[in-house]
Amino acid sequence: MDEERASEVLATYVDGLVNHTGAVHQVDMTDEEHARLTRLFRLTERLQQSMRPVQPSADFVRGLGKDLVDRARRRIRLTKRLRRAALIGAATLGSLLSIASVVGAIVFLVTRLRARAQARAIRAPTG
Amino acid sequence: MQDESDSALIARAKEDPEAFGILYERYVNRIYNYIYYRTGNHQDAEDLTARTFYRALKHISRYVDRGAPFSAYLYRIAHNVVANWHRDTSRRQIISLDDLIVGTLKRDGPASLAEEREEQDLLLDAARRLPPERQQLLILKFVEQMRNAEIAEVMGRTEGAIKSLYHRTLVALREDFAELQDGQEGVREGTSNG
């Protein structure tokens, strides 16, 4: 019996056991195959008996759920506040930059005009 | 709202706290079961389940939906949380309350029941010695009663690979279990002789 065949038969057996489909009866097994896998079938049955779903306590589920929703609310509020602060910061920076550029342009123009006026005054004939 | 898909809830959870609450309610039992069977006691299962969901909440804004089930993401977090816990607890030996209670029940109950319980505990101990992904496979199969196709989706493997892994897991478990049983019998014989 090869590995693949053994895996297939075992998987069918487990599915039949866990999902109560009785699928194992649909698998044709030789006596040799059955003998080889019997111990694994028994182990599967033991596992099914031992590994039953457990329930967390209702208090725990309720308490953790409430705490998670509160935390989520705080996180979302904080994210929104940070986003708003970043937006205000960017807008302020943008405004400051545009004011600075206007002031810079005025200073540049005034300086240039003054320089031109001085140059004209030097070149003008005296007397 | 309870029928809403996981993807829609995840997208909504980035702006709406109630959406994460629904995801939590949908998966809390599964994650709790997974952790309970990995740790073996309710106290740690509660603690680690809480840690798993806190971590999921922390990273939900960066979660990218690539088509894999959300449960796979939660199981991955739970797996890491349990791995850290194992690393920490291996440094300090703890006898859990559940073990103490079980011990008391074993002594108080009828002999056949106690023996049966002992054997079940031994089998679960052997299962807990398996590599994490094999433990996950057993939990998804027996506790969650998932189909192989669903397990394959959660574990990111093909269905064929899951069947093959299941076979190898059972063979390894059978050997570990037999070893533990032999050890137990040796202890019993030693006690009765001494």
> Å from A30 to nearest chain B CA?
18
Q: Which CA distances in Å does B75 have to A8, A67, B78, B115, B139?
A: 26, 21, 5, 33, 11
In a domain, A11, yes or no: yes
In a domain, A36, yes or no: yes
Q: Per mean pLDDT, which range of A43-47, B29-33, B98-102, B189-193 is the poorest?
A: B98-102
**Domains annotated on chain B, with CATH:** 1-93 (1.10.1740.10), 95-194 (1.10.10.10)
pLDDT of B51 above 70: yes
Q: Which domain holds residue A18?
A: 3-50
pLDDT grade, residue B188 (50/70/90)? low
In a domain, A40, yes or no: yes
pLDDT grade, residue A32 (50/70/90)? confident
Nearest by CB: A76 against B17, B36, B123: B17
In a domain, A76, yes or no: no
In a domain, A33, yes or no: yes
A78: closest chain B residue by CA: B15
pLDDT of B97 above 70: no
pTM: 0.76
Contact A71 B57 (CB under 8 A): yes
Q: Per mean pLDDT, which range of A12-16, B30-34, B52-56, B58-62 is the poorest?
A: A12-16
- Mean pLDDT for the stretch of residues B38-51: 95
How much is the pLDDT for B104? 47
pLDDT digits (tens, 9 = 90+) for A70-124: 999 998 888 889 999 999 999 999 999 999 999 999 999 999 999 999 998 888 7
pLDDT grade, residue A26 (50/70/90)? low
Percentage of residues in chain B having pLDDT higher than 70: 84
pLDDT grade, residue B160 (50/70/90)? very high
B-chain CB neighbours of A48 within 8 Å are 142
In a domain, A22, yes or no: yes
A:95-114 residues touching chain B, CB 8 A cutoff? none
B-chain CB neighbours of A60 within 8 Å are 46
In a domain, A31, yes or no: yes
How many domains is chain A partitioned into structurally? Answer: 1
Q: Per mean pLDDT, which range of A71-75, B29-33, B63-67, B94-98 is the poorest?
A: B94-98
How much is the pLDDT for A63? 97
ipTM: 0.78
pLDDT of B101 above 80: no
Nearest by CB: A68 against B16, B53, B166: B53
Nearest by CB: B25 against A39, A65, A76: A65
In a domain, A41, yes or no: yes
